[in-house]
């Protein structure tokens, strides 16, 4: 297996400390704090570890309370709220340095048949016709501030291909919409729990950035502060994250130093497999004197 993906799976192999207590490793991905997707995915894996095998997650809701320290592991405390005839509910608290950094709730269901409908997938070019946009070209990287360049250069366990190109150096005002094809860089085990947890991880890629597109700000603006505040996700149909998935995102509103974003995840054959929603901090701080 590709080493980037193997390292990610290591993060998702949580250590059980007690019946409902787990510990997960953290990684530095070049951001000032632990990547929100890491905490989302690990919390889901912790909750899954207390649920009957036949039940699958269908929704999760989370709040980011404090910055995570990527130099330290994270402890996940699971509360087994309810196990009913068809559904199980779990609450998870993530703890670092004796403080809550993240709260999470999820619901799991035994698969059953029911009504079926969905919206259509956007009409976009296939991933094979698009350039790899996991990182900017070499000439753009050279022009980026060192902190941003370090973030961009770190190896990623997912490959990205943008439908709508962006100019990292000179952002232009555009509609708050973006479509990104994504997939894991190598083949993964046939484990539905793992694929759902990894989609939770990668669902934090690019989502909040959608709310900045109408305002012509980006990586070059050192006065821009962004951070995820909450994250919600619904799983509709089975999928694999090592097959191409289209992440279609939009931002209906921004205000009060917060941006609201939504996402729809489609499989290659057009099935809507998941939906996301997130609100995040988008703040322009006062410029510091030279």
What is the reported pLDDT for 138? 75
pLDDT 10s digits, 134-168: 877 777 777 777 777 777 777 789 999 999 988 87
Going from the N-terminus, what domains does the chain have, and what CATH number goes with each? 3-110+126-284 (2.40.160.210)
pTM of the model: 0.93
CA-based Rg of the chain, rounded to a whole angstrom? 19
The answer to whether residue 278 is catalytic is yes
Residue range 200-258, pLDDT digits in tens: 999 999 999 999 999 988 766 778 888 999 999 999 999 999 999 999 999 999 999 99
Percent of the chain whose predicted confidence (pLDDT) is above 90: 79
Alpha carbons within 13 angstroms on the beta-carbon side of residue 242 total 13
Give residue for tokens 């390292």.
Answer: 7
Given the residues 11, 33, 204, 248, select the one marked as catalytic. 204
Q: What integer pLDDT is reported at residue 219 of this predicted model?
A: 65
**Owner of token pair 């793992």:** 194
3 is catalytic: no
- Is 92 in contact with 75 (CB distance < 8 Å)? no
Residue with tokens 């690990």: 42
Q: What is the arithmetic mean of pLDDT over 92-103? A: 97
Catalytic residue among 178, 228, 264, 267: 228
Nearest to 40 by CA among 187, 213, 235: 235
């Amino acid at each position: 297996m590709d080493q980037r993906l193997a390292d990610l799976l290591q993060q998702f192999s949580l250590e059980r400390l007690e019946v409902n207590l787990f510990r997960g490793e953290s990684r530095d991905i070049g951001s000032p704090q632990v990547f929100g997707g890491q905490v989302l995915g690990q919390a889901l894996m912790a909750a899954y570890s207390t649920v009957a095998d036949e039940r699958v997650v269908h929704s999760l809701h989370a709040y980011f309370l404090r910055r995570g320290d990527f130099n330290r592991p994270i402890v996940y405390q699971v509360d087994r709220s309810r196990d009913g005839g068809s559904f199980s509910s779990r609450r998870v608290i993530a703890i670092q340095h004796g403080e809550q950094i993240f709260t999470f709730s999820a619901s799991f269901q035994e698969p059953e048949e029911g009504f079926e409908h969905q919206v259509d997938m956007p009409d976009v070019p296939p991933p094979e016709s698009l350039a790899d946009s996991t990182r900017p070209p070499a000439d753009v990287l050279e022009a980026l501030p060192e902190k941003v360049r370090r973030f961009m250069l770190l190896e990623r366990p997912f490959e990205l291909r943008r439908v709508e190109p962006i100019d990292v150096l000179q952002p232009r005002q555009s509609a708050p919409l973006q479509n990104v094809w994504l997939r894991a860089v190598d083949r993964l085990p046939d484990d539905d729990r793992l694929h759902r947890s990894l989609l939770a991880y990668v669902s934090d890629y690019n989502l909040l950035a959608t709310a900045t597109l109408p305002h012509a700000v980006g990586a070059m603006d050192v006065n821009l502060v962004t951070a995820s505040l909450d994250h919600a996700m619904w799983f509709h149909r089975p999928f694999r994250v090592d097959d191409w998935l289209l992440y279609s995102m939009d931002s209906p509103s921004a205000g009060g130093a917060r941006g609201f974003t939504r996402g729809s995840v489609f499989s290659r054959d057009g099935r809507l497999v998941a939906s996301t929603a997130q609100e995040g901090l988008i703040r322009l701080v006062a410029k510091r004197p030279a």
